[in-house]
Structure 1
Amino acid sequence: MANTNVTWTGLSSLMEQIGATAAETIEAASSAMKTTTGQVQAQAKQIAPKRTGFMANNISVDPIQRTASSVTGTIDAKADYSSFVEFGTYKMSAEPFIRPAVSAGQSVFIKTTMDKLKEAATFK
């Protein structure tokens, strides 16, 4: 099973800089994380190697986890052999599908978060 977590921290200093409240900042990041994890899941399913389609069909998104200062999204490849495909073994080369999808999702997350924060910011 390959399990990838993406955590964004440092919300306190960002809130001070833009004048948004903690609730607004967490809500913006949470909404952006939900959008991003959905896109990462779709892309991972698309680029996952498909012999039977089982691995691609078993890539899921866990509910977004929120605290007062962080937001965490989890994309989970539930097939038992997913990590072997993602990272390779001494007998087979890696065929990454989660890591490239997460890399592509980073810019989506940043842009979506910033768009949501602009709506909530006091310096409009």
Structure 2
Amino acid sequence: MHRDRPDRTRGVVPVHGPAAIRRSRGLGSLGGQLTSRLPRFADVNSAGLAGFEREQLKAVMVADSAIDPLTKEMIYIAVSTANGCSYCIHSHTAAARAKGMTDAQHGELVSIIGLAGQTNHLVKAMQIPIDPQFEVK
């Protein structure tokens, strides 16, 4: 900790480096990673996260599906970034790294998230209508 700055690392999940390796060691599967994060949900339970949502989260993130586990974590990172949830950004980044996300993939993901945010805000501010060929029917 730097003497002139307060310690802002309390409660932050390490996303890379030795601390992240220690955190992910022995977890093995995404289910193990979710289980390791569930005690933190106790804090959220008092704010309304019921067991149903917790079970839904595990079912979506752990279940075999057409989307591989790393891509699911990367989607969660993008949505958490858009929603501004620091806890979710860090926990899903750690899970994605445990699933094999490289520094290059993380950097590209962050670039895409930033670009999408910029273009979304610009299009919304300019009230650009949806092109007919992009309409979802």
Note whether the superposition's TM-score is higher than 0.5: no
Q: Which has the higher contact order (CA 8 A, sep 6+)?
A: 1
Query: Which of the two has greater helix per residue?
Result: 2
Q: So what's the TM-score if we normalise by structure 2?
A: 0.27
The higher radius of gyration belongs to 2
Q: So what's the TM-score if we normalise by structure 1?
A: 0.29
Query: Which of the two has greater strand per residue?
Result: 1
